[in-house]
Structure 1
Amino acid sequence: MSDLPIADHALLSDRHSAALVTRDGSIAWLCFPRFDSESVFASILDDAAGHWSIRPSTLATSTRSYVEGTMALQTTFHTDEGTLELIDALELGDSSDPHRLGENAPHTLLRGVHCTRGRVTIEMTCRPRPEYGLVVPVFAEIDSGVVATGGSGRLTLSLPAPVTGLGGEIRVRFTLEAGQHRYFALQRTRLGEPLPGAYTQDEIATGLASTTASWQEWSAIHQSYDGPWRELVHHSGRVLQALSYQPTGAIVAAATTSLPEEIGGERNWDYRYSWVRDASFTMKALWVAACPDEAHEFFDFMTAAAAHSSPDRHLQIMFGIGGEHDLSERFLPQLTGWRGSGPVRVGNGAWDQPQLDVYGELLDAAFRLSEQLGEIEPATRTFLVALADAAASQWQQPDNGIWEIRGAPRHFLYSKLMCWVALDRAIAMAEQLHATDRVAEWSTMAAQIRATILEKGWNEEAGAFTQSFDSPDLDAAALMLPIVGFLPASDPRVLATVDAIIERLTDTRGLVYRYQTDTGVDGLNGNEGTFLLCTFWLAHVLAAGGRSGEAREVFERAVSHTNDVGLLAEEIDSETGEQLGNFPQAFSHVGLINAAWAIDQAESHFPANEGTPAENAP
């Protein structure tokens, strides 16, 4: 059973796949060649599911950080005899276009060690266990490396020293003196593809240098935010870029599967897919943190993936990163789960739920990115117009809501709100969408939705806007009412809702729950931690309402839970303060970026939400 804290991991990405590295230099998670591929290493979910460690042979302490402006990780080990630097990166490959980061990624993990003081003896252990730990590969030595064969592909491990052990794992041991470097690489090839030879030491060194330079060039071109918490915002922008799948423009919700929302609980989901909601939020956050010139790619992906969509059919709420539709959920019984939190799942059963909010999220992202989109392609225009029409025709239906409730569909306030957003943004973009003839009908329907929300969304018993119509249960998603411009943050009903959430949905650490799980509304057993996105929403709304001092306090409480390399999972354990849930989580970094921006806007006397796009449109 793996019990290392989730926050002890760091992310590597080539914008095709992701790896997690522990504080002591072990690769605990790696999927090749895509984010959603079967794992090669998965010790984060089960000690027997594979890892690749490089560390000093004697007792050492470690510190780590990302190389400035990159997602290349540097870990420094300090021993009594010397100091060792370990640098890790997923190779980005060559590209003549700095805007297409990772375009030619070769699906290779690069690692280098450098002794900077004294002497250090290094131990390397590589224990690949492909297909989520099911496969124990066969090893064969080649010049300067080892080939591991088993399952659907082969792994070529390039080594700087002779193998000292080759049983169920590959072992290497050697000593470096001050000033000496050595390098490692792990490359995956599919069965039937030519087997590459081992990388040379110079090739690995060049690959690490090139990957670092590519990240830094991308950051220099794209990142111009200069407000409060600048470094956190820029880093979060790089994390979101790292969670995007370069070949299609899809964005994954997180790099992992089945890291639990409650230790020992059943709330363990596979987040390595592209949710319409999460991806749309991410694109909007990149507008602040990284100037997304990938906007066309994202909307092209969504248009192609959802090509079947029509006003009479629900838009699928999530897709595989290659545009796949069927994401049926299954269990992996061979894996015990992080800290025994099973089951471990692959796929996600929410893929075929009706969730009406996705229409608004996509159109809101399109509106925010309209300058980047410019002249919208005809297919994308047709798609976006169809989304507005779908929101108009479906908004009165019950659904499973933003939190993907696994109980009976209900009339969730947030879903109705985002149907209103869909129409509001479509009206504002009508000329760009070549849809001015639709404005009158859309305006009538938007007014109906607005009146219904104001009548049924407010609950006198709760003294707040609540989770669903005719229910007194609170939900932090009501904080989106002012964020999307439905009501001003100074509206008395919004102020009352904010105060109710602070009083009844906030833990002793000052962090916000999504909703109270003990009501049974979500159809699941157990509880969960506080939700970082919701906490950042609270900071955002406080800032928009002129309470920037309180907003800063809430923001600081949330970001105090970032790990040593600035990463956030989905939730925080209310009792221990530990990070919980899949890691790193796009939602959390999206919330950080948007809340920082809202506080900056408030303190610069330019409110982040003043009127709605339709009202402000020329």
Structure 2
Amino acid sequence: MRLAGHMGTFIEDYALLSNQRTAALVSKHGSVDWFCVPRFDSGSVFTAMLGGPENGRWLLAPVHGEVVSRNYLDSSFVLRTLWASDTGQVLVTDFMPMEDPDSSIMRRVEGLSGTMTFEHELVMRYGYGKVPPWVRRNFDPVQGTESLVAVAGPNAAVLHAARLPKASHHTHRDTFEVRAGDVYDFEFNCYPGEAAIPAASDVGLAMTQTSRIWQDWAAKIPQHESHDALVRRSLLVLKALTHRETGGIVAAPTTSLPEFFGGERNWDYRFCWLRDAAMTLQVMMTHGFEEAALRWRDWLLRAIAGDHENLQILYGVGGERELPEKILQHLGGYGGAKPVRIGNAAVRQYQGDVVGEVMVALDDLRTMGAREDHFSWPLQKALLKYVLNNLKRKDHGLWEMRGTPQYFTHSRVMMWAALDAGVRAVTHHGQAGDTQRWERARDELREEILTKGFNQDLDSFTQTYATTEVDASLLVLAQVGFVDYADPRMLGTVAQLEKDLIDEHGYIRRYRTEVSGDGLPPGEFPFLVCTCWLVEQYAHSERLEDAKRLFAKLAGIVNDVGLIAEEFDPVSGHMAGNFPQALSHLGLIRAADAIAEAEGTRPYRARSGPH
């Protein structure tokens, strides 16, 4: 398997930097291989992750040396990498300043002992690794310093550093000695092309401020008895993937990291899926962050304002509707996995479950004491009207299958959950609404699901009404209270899932791609959130030891700085899919919470649970 980058970078070798507007990925090799500006879903200036060094990167690493350790500074996204060789030790600190109005990456190189020779290479390529900028040296008479300034149409960047690399064929390189006590600061600042060149910052001060901002937020996280570090870091990842101005939550900061190495299942996740964001909202609420939940509700109101019949399953970070899918032919793909896509054609799919996830999350928000405003409840009534208008419509399902629409059992259950949440808003929280119509539709839908979505011969719910196949999304049925975790029908479904979808390594696949008719070539690795759901099911159905054993496998996948991708290849031991993925991290949190609840050690409020 060929991997991205000239040094062979596995997905788990990356660490996340974030300023809550965008993100960057820096590898264990000291290279920033992915950086989109100014937003998560903007074009990238460093794209080596999906091609090679020639597609843009920022390397700062010793010519000879190895990584001794890598960690975030306490509960922050200030990354510290300790390098060592026979001749010395050097600490490199990477971060994105939180108080910078632009999007910048700062790097500090500190000599701890002896001497090490460092290599500095800056390759800027706008337009997802395609367009080299015009670069010049700029002298600042006020500060008496030189900087590198790059311009490419509307994009501009400046590199402030005590040592500037020299130009060579659209690349800038330098080699320098780092001795004990030396400190070298580097600041790469991206800004609008028409704006004035930003002045150099105090890197040490910015580091202190950034660390403080992250740690002040993390200080509000309740202590988790058994899995505190994992839960804390996962909550921080969800925060890092939330745009600070708009409140939109991206599914991941990357595009086209393959679900199957060398395959075609390569998608752009740098957008806000209503489903994923609603699930994130629930997790944030149960851990005490109602303010974040209310900000997301405000984002939702803006994004889907207008005709409810034009509801989309995903939007841009600012609520944008047009997200056309394109293929970038000039990129070779991670490990040769093509095509590389930007945008997402799933935006045009109808997925019947989405309103259910949103309504369940907003029901939880009400249960925790949040008040509806003059806009939020009318919007929810419009969403319920949308559900009623689409009750007979087939969809593409939770997994966004690109085959023929079906009646997916999970989607039908989530439509039931949406109607149930609407009824509860009236009966439990005093809202005004057509409960008679909602109750009738809810009860009829429940009867339909139990008749057509449950196979008596299999003693199991099925993926669709028209198949005997099962699907890991069926594990959600108990989570939303359609059946109890210990209901015989749910236990029978779990037994069928274990029989058909659990591999020899103990991980569960989403569904059998070889017979699914999902419109794509077969082949993918275990989807990690599904295994998290199975942990939940075990923990809530008196299989606590099974839950703990399976959770330990999941915890073992997490990389050295607490991050996890969408999928995992148990044969090679490497992560797959976009990284880090919000859905996987929120799945880990829920799984840890379920175990804590079963053990009686949960120190925070549980969600409202089955109704």
Secondary structure, counterpart of 1:575 in structure 2? coil
More displaced, 300-309 or 67-76? 300-309
Secondary structure, counterpart of 1:474 in structure 2? coil
Q: Give yes or no for the alignment of 1:210 onto 2:209.
A: yes
- Paired position in structure 1 for 2:56: 50
RMSD (Å), alpha carbons: 2.1
Letter in 1 for 2:225: G
Q: Give yes or no for the alignment of 1:27 onto 2:32.
A: yes
Q: Deviations over 1:91-113 (max 9, x none)?
A: 100xxxxxxxxxx6431111111
- Paired position in structure 2 for 1:96: none
Return the alpha-carbon distance in structure 1 between the equivalents of residues 601 and 172 of structure 2.
60
- 1:51–1:207: structure 2 CA closer, same or farther, 3 Å change rule? same
Q: Give yes or no for the alignment of 1:176 onto 2:178.
A: yes
Letter in 1 for 2:45: V
- Paired position in structure 2 for 1:81: 87
- Paired position in structure 2 for 1:98: none
More displaced, 159-168 or 514-523? 159-168
The one of 145, 152, 155 equivalent to 1:153 is: 155
| 1:480 Cα deviation from its structure 2 partner | 0.7
The one of 83, 91, 102 equivalent to 2:97 is: 91
The one of 220, 233, 249 equivalent to 1:251 is: 249
- Paired position in structure 2 for 1:38: 43
The one of 1, 5, 14 equivalent to 2:19 is: 14
- 1:335–1:373: structure 2 CA closer, same or farther, 3 Å change rule? farther
| 1:139 Cα deviation from its structure 2 partner | 1.7
Secondary structure, counterpart of 2:225 in structure 1? coil
TM-score by length of 1: 0.93
Q: Give yes or no for the alignment of 1:195 onto 2:193.
A: no
The one of 557, 564, 576 equivalent to 1:580 is: 576
More displaced, 371-380 or 300-309? 371-380
- 1:572–1:392: structure 2 CA closer, same or farther, 3 Å change rule? same
Q: Deviations over 1:127-164 (max 9, x none)?
A: 11111111112221123321112243111001122434
| 1:442 Cα deviation from its structure 2 partner | 1.5
- Paired position in structure 2 for 1:185: 187
Secondary structure, counterpart of 1:530 in structure 2? coil
- Paired position in structure 2 for 1:233: 231
1:274–1:320 contact (8 Å) kept in structure 2: yes
Q: Deviations over 1:332-365 (max 9, x none)?
A: 0010100110000010000011111111111111
Letter in 2 for 1:236: S
| 1:432 Cα deviation from its structure 2 partner | 8.1
Q: Deviations over 1:171-203 (max 9, x none)?
A: 233223223322111111112111224x15xx1
More displaced, 467-476 or 225-234? 225-234
Alignment coverage as a number of residue pairs? 599
Q: Give yes or no for the alignment of 1:69 onto 2:71.
A: no
- 1:12–1:290: structure 2 CA closer, same or farther, 3 Å change rule? farther
Q: Deviations over 1:502-558 (max 9, x none)?
A: 121011111110000001421111311001000000000111111111111111112
Letter in 2 for 1:42: T
Q: Which runs of 5+ in 2 are unaligned?
A: 139-144
More displaced, 417-426 or 606-615? 606-615
- Paired position in structure 2 for 1:271: 269
- Paired position in structure 1 for 2:142: none
| 1:613 Cα deviation from its structure 2 partner | 6.0
Return the alpha-carbon distance in structure 2 between the equivalents of residues 172 and 605 of structure 1.
54
The one of 340, 343, 346 equivalent to 1:347 is: 343
- Paired position in structure 2 for 1:423: 419
- Paired position in structure 2 for 1:525: 521
- Paired position in structure 2 for 1:101: none
More displaced, 384-393 or 560-569? 384-393
2:224–2:602 contact (8 Å) kept in structure 1: no
Q: Which runs of 5+ in 1 are unaligned?
A: 94-103
Secondary structure, counterpart of 1:250 in structure 2? coil
- Paired position in structure 1 for 2:311: 315
Structure 2 matches for 1:464-479, cutoff 5 A? 464-479=460-475
2:286–2:605 contact (8 Å) kept in structure 1: no
| 1:40 Cα deviation from its structure 2 partner | 0.6
| 1:397 Cα deviation from its structure 2 partner | 1.4
| 1:237 Cα deviation from its structure 2 partner | 0.1
Q: Deviations over 1:53-106 (max 9, x none)?
A: 11112233342011111111111101111111111111100xxxxxxxxxx643
Structure 2 matches for 1:468-617, cutoff 5 A? 468-604=464-600, 615=611
2:120–2:173 contact (8 Å) kept in structure 1: yes
Q: Give yes or no for the alignment of 1:60 onto 2:59.
A: no
Return the alpha-carbon distance in structure 2 between the equivalents of residues 292 and 78 of structure 1.
44
Q: Deviations over 1:490-510 (max 9, x none)?
A: 111111111111121011111
2:65–2:83 contact (8 Å) kept in structure 1: no
| 1:11 Cα deviation from its structure 2 partner | 0.6
Letter in 2 for 1:91: P
- 1:225–1:277: structure 2 CA closer, same or farther, 3 Å change rule? farther
More displaced, 275-284 or 173-182? 173-182
Letter in 2 for 1:275: W
- Paired position in structure 2 for 1:121: 117
Return the alpha-carbon distance in structure 1 between the equivalents of residues 427 and 148 of structure 2.
60
Structure 2 matches for 1:391-430, cutoff 5 A? 391-430=387-426
Return the alpha-carbon distance in structure 1 between the equivalents of residues 421 and 223 of structure 2.
25
Q: Give yes or no for the alignment of 1:365 onto 2:371.
A: no
| 1:378 Cα deviation from its structure 2 partner | 1.2
Return the alpha-carbon distance in structure 2 between the equivalents of residues 182 and 379 of structure 1.
52
Letter in 2 for 1:274: C
Return the alpha-carbon distance in structure 1 between the equivalents of residues 387 and 488 of structure 2.
28
